[in-house]
Amino acid sequence: MNSNTKIYIAGHRGMVGSAIWRALEAKGYSNLIGKTSAELDLRSQEAVADFFFTEKPDVVIDAAARVGGILANNNYPYQFLMENMQIQNNLIDYSLKADVQKFIFLGSSCIYPKMAPQPLKEEYLLTGPLETTNEWYAIAKITGVKACEAIRKQFGKDYISLMPTNLYGPHDNFDLTSSHVLPAMIRKFHEAKQLPVVSDQLSVVGDKKNDFSEDLPVTLWGSGTPMREFLFVEDLADAVVFALENKFQDNLYNVGTGIDLTIKELAELIQKTVGHTGEIVWDSSKPDGTPRKLMDVSKMEQAGWKAKVGLVEGIQRTYQWFLENQESFKEVKI
């Protein structure tokens, strides 16, 4: 790789893609390509073919996907399956046809079986049933992993798959109908802190009287007991740059911190960061998802890369970005 290597970042305006773009620019890479969805519909085979044979990129980084939390996955299973397969299949296939030598495919830890031993090792792929709340997205991503593996095996090209754990950071999705747990909590706690109780005198929230100095309660899905691992998006971007500049021996690598916590502990940490002082209510009628999802990151560490940003610092930086950009978010009720 050199500063003039032509690198196409699919999904360059999303949280992950924009972080990768910034990381590459910081390292001196100057020949970066990005196309908006209006400029290039990655679901269109014809459009992707035209792009590849016109631009002829040296490297492709696939950070494009339709993503969302449990609610979005449950409500739009077909779109999460089909659109993700269309996007990645077009990118992978035309990278091969256009003789792209380096391809980095970004997936998700949800590709691993729901009840796989913890922490999750790369070899656990396809050893058991998936978590039903996100199996559509997971199946799509598994096909991408296996397609890159097949190309690596059959054609000897340096196509690798990086499986990040739960991501968060600047440019995250804070829409409460489609976001993941961490950004959703940031917004919920912030808006519960900002919204006053409207009453001439006092109002009753649950069993507690709430005067104007108290924050509104926040209701969160599930029991709070599942355990999750979180990776700051700039750490993932750093891992992508590392993968770009090094040749890996294998095709699949987990990317994470190797540290997890309960959703309840996460909620309390975000509540403290935001400064919310109200009650947290757990709605146990809603699904918890996978009981635990901790990544074994030893393989990536042996390759020479390790996460740097801790969760406390990462949440603080994410909330600061949220505060600076909250005017762009739509108003929604808690």
The residues that are catalytic are 137
- With left for phi above 0 and alpha for psi between -120 and 50, is residue 304 left, alpha or beta? left
Q: Is 16 labelled a binding residue? A: yes
Site of tokens 């077009």: 90
Q: Where are the alpha helices (DSSP H) in 230-309?
A: 233-245, 263-274, 298-303
Rounded CA gap, 161 and 16, in Å? 15
Amino acid at 180: H
As a whole number of angstroms, the distance between CA 279 and CA 214 comes to 10
Residue 221 annotated as part of some ligand binding site? yes
Give yes or no for a contact between 119 and 258, defined as CB atoms under 8 angstroms apart.
yes
Q: Is 170 annotated as a binding residue?
A: no
Any binding-site annotation on 107? yes
**Phi and psi dihedrals of 333, rounded to 5?**
-85, 145
Query: Binding site annotation covers 228?
Result: yes
**Residue 310 annotated in ligand binding:** no
Tell me if 206 is assigned to a ligand binding site.
no
Considering only CA atoms, which of 293, 69, 85, 103 is closest in space to residue 183? 69
77/133 Cα distance (integer angstroms): 9
Is 167 annotated among the ligand-binding residues? Answer: yes
Does 15 belong to an annotated binding site? Answer: yes
Contacts of 194 (CB under 8 A, 6+ apart): none
Annotated binding-site residue? 284? no
Is 13 labelled a binding residue? yes
Q: Report whether 53 contacts 28 (CB < 8 A).
A: no
3-class secondary structure, 228: strand
Which H or E element spans position 261?
A: strand 260-262
Asked whether residue 166 is marked as a ligand-binding residue, the answer is yes
Question: Is residue 141 a known part of a binding site?
Answer: yes
Residue 144 among known ligand-binding residues: no
11 is in an annotated binding site: yes
Which DSSP letter does residue 310 get?
-
What 3-state DSSP class applies to 307? coil
Could you list the residues known to form a binding site for substrate, using ranges: 188, 221, 228, 288
Could you list the residues known to form a binding site for NADP(+), using ranges: 11-17, 106-109, 141, 164-167, 180
Could you list the residues known to form a binding site, using ranges: 11-17, 106-109, 141, 164-167, 180, 188, 221, 228, 288
